[in-house]
Structure 1
Amino acid sequence: MARIGLLTMSDGRDFVERDVHDFATAAETAIAARLEVEGHEVVRGGGPLWTSEVATTEGRRLADARPDLTIFHYPVWAFPHFSMLAAEANRGPLLLLANVDPQFPGMVGMLAAGGALDQIGRAHARAWGDIRESHVLDRVLVQVRAAAAVGALRGATFGRIGGRPMGMYTAVANPDQWMRTFGVDVEEIDQWEIVRRADTVEASRAREGRMWLERNAAGVHYDGRQLTPELLERQVRSYYAMRELIDEWHLDFSGIKAQPELTNHFATMDVTEAFLNDPYDWDGPKQTHVCATEADMDGALTMQLLKNLARTPVLFADVRHYHADRGIWDLCNSGEHATWYAARSDDPLENLRRVHLYPEGFYFPAGGASIHHLAAPGDCTFARLTRLDGRYRMQVLRGALETYDQQTNEALMRQSTYEWPHAFARLRVEASEFLERYGSNHIHAVPGEHVAELRAACGLVGIDYQGMGEAV
C-alpha cells in the first residue's frame, strides 16, 4: 500500500472557479475512490487550488503527511503558478494527471504546469485520460509503485560487514553518493563481530537449526572434512550472529564480505545469506532481509529496490557461463540464492525438498555447506545498478528462468561449480550486446514484469535508465 497525496488545480479567476468547482471536486473524488479500491491511502487537499495562498498552504499540509507520491490533478484549465507553489512546498515525487476533454482543457493546464516545472528542473511524471480506463490506471499505478519503492529506500541503513572483497571495485560504493541520490546510510561493521557473536549462540539453537536442515533438505552431504555437523552448526551460529547485528544496528539490508578471511579461516556465509533472504528459517516464517554476498553494495541496493517492487525474495548471482548452443546463461554464485527460488512456494518444505547442502569446494578451505538447488522456471525482470564514469544507471533486462529434464539439468550444472546454486536464464538480449555493455559480474532478478516501474524509479532518483535488448 502507498500513501498518495492528491491536489486538484483550478482556475485563478473567482467567477470561473465557482463554475468549475463542483466538476473538479467530483473528478478528484473519482480518482481518490479508484486508488482506494486498489488498496492505497489517499490524502486529499481541502478543495481545488485556485489562489496562491491555498496552493502553498495545501502543498505544505500534504507534505506533512509524507506521501510516497503526490498527484497534481488537472480537470480544468489551471493557473500554472499554483502548481509551482505547491511543488515548492512539497519536495516529494510528483505525477501530473490531466483529463482529456474538449470542454474542460485540463490537458492544457497540465502541459503549462509541466513546462514550468521543466524550466526549474523539477522532475515529474505525467498521465492523461480517464482513470476508469485500464491503460490510464496502469500508467498511474506504475508511478505509485515506483514512488513507494524509492520512498522505502530513503532513511534506510545498509550494514556493510567487512570491506572490499578480492579487489572488486563494483562491490564498493561511495556513501556520500548513496545518501545524496538514494537517501541511504551505510553502517560499517567488522567481520569479527560475526565470529565473536557466533561463539555466544546457545548450543541448543545451533543444534536445532542443523537438525531442521537435516530433516527437511533433500540431502546434507557430510564428508567429514569440508562439511561436518560442527561446521554446519557454525554456519547456523553465524546466521544468528547476523540477526543480532541486524536488530542491534537497525539494519534494513546488508552485505557480508566473507572472502577471504571468513572463507579461509572460519566458515562460508552461504547458509547465513540464503536464509536471511528467505521468508522463513528453522524458527518459522519471517520477513526477508536482503543480504548480498561479497558485501556488494550496489548489488544489495538493487536487490532492496527490487524487493520493494516485487515483495518477493531477490535472486543474486554471478553471470557464470553462456551456453551458446542453447542461448542460455548459467547464473551461479556461492551462497546468496534464497532457497525460495527452488520452487517459489509459500511452503518452505516444498522448496527445501529440492535443496541439497554440499561440502564447499577448494575455493573455501574453511569449509561449510553450500546451498545447492536449481531455480524454478518463470518470467523474471533482471536488473543491476552500475556506474558509468561515476554516474549511476540502472541496467534492465527481460528474460525467463528455465529448467529441462533431469539429465540435462545435471549435465549443465556440472559444467561449472555443481555444489553452488544455479539459475538457467534466457535473457532477451543478444549475448554480444550484454557482454559489451553490462557493468558488473553480478546480476539480480525477481519474478514478474517490473520494467516500467524501474524506468519510473530511475526518473524519481535522477539516474539513467538503460534497457538492454527488449527492455530498451
Structure 2
Amino acid sequence: MATQEKSIFLISNGDYRDAACEMCWPRQKETIDIIDKAFQSLGYKVIALPEYDEKLKHGFVTRQCYGTEIFSKIDPTAPVVILLSCWSYAHHVASGLQTHKGPILLLGNFDGTWPGLVALLNHSATLSRLCVEHTRLWSESFTEDHVFMGRLKTWCETGKVVYDTSHLVSADTLTISPEADSFGKELAAEIIKNKRILGQLDPGCMGMLNALINPAKLGAIGMPIELLNQSDLVAEMSDVSDREAQDHLNWLVEQGAWFDWGVDQFKDLVHSQVLEQMKMYSAAARYSHRFGLAAIGIPYQIGLVRCVAASDLAEGMLNNSNRPDVADPVSGKVIQQGKPIVHFNEGDIGSGVPQVLM
C-alpha cells in the first residue's frame, strides 16, 4: 500500500484561528514525535506537513486553500494520516481527501487537554457525508498501547482497520411495545402537520460539513430550516439594554452561580464580557420567539468569535427550564416561561433533530 520509499504523509490540520493553533501546537508537536516513532518502528518514514512556521509559531493547516495546496504536491496514491490533537476545521482537508486515491487515516489523540477526539469524530462525520472512505484510530499512549500499535500495523499493511460491530442491531429488527409504536406514529403525524422549525445561524462556519443536512430531507419529516445570520444576532444583542443584561446576571448570582472575576480583560473574566453573554441569551430567546423556532443553533466560530464574548453560558441558560425571564419587546409577554428554549450546540442540525424530539 505504501509508496516505494514506504513514506506516509502526516498532515496537521488545525483551527482557523492562529492564536488557538499556537496554544495547541506543543501538544500537537509532541504527538507528531510519538507517531513518527510508531511508524518508524513499523518500517515507515513520516513526512510531516505543513512545515513549522516560525512567525505563526505553529505548523497547522488553517485554511482550505492551504490544504488543497498541500494535496496538490503529494502523490495522490500515497497513504495520508490526518493527525488531530485539538479542534480542527474538517473542510480544510476534506476537499483534498475527496480526490485522494490513497489510504486515509484519521488519527486522534485521546488526551483530554484539547479536543482531538472530538475533531476526529467531526472529520469522520464530514468525510462520511462526502462518501470518502477512511479509517479511524485513536490512543492516549500510542507506542505503549499494544492494541493501537496492532491496528496501526494493520492499516499500514492493508489500508484499513475493521472494527467489531456485532453490538449494533438494525432498527428494523427491534420489537417495541404497541404503546410506544402508537406514540411514535402520533408524534410523527403531529410534527408533519404543525412542523418544528430549526433555526440555524451561518451553517458550516465551524468547518463542520456534517452539521449540514439536506433541507429537502428535513422538510420531508416536518423540520424545515430557518437560515439565520450571525451579524443579525449581534445587531439584536445591541437592542438588549444593559439593565436587562444585568438583571439576568443578578438572577444567576441569586441562584448560586459563582464567577471568578478579574480586572484584566485580556486575561481574566470581567463584568462586561458576562453582560455581553447575557445580551446574547436575550437575543437568542427573542429570535426563537420571532421566527417560531422549535430550536436554535449558534456556532461560536468564524464571525461571532471576532465580535462578542463566548456563547457557552448563553447556550446553557437557553437549554434550562430554570432560567431568567426574557420578554418579547413587542408584546411584553415572557417567552417560553418555565420551559427550555432548545439550543443545539455549534449549529449542528444532527444534534438539533434529536434534541427537539426529546
TM-score, length-normalised on structure 2? Answer: 0.44
Mark the structure with the bigger radius of gyration: 1
Larger strand share, 1 or 2: 1
TM-score, length-normalised on structure 1? Answer: 0.34
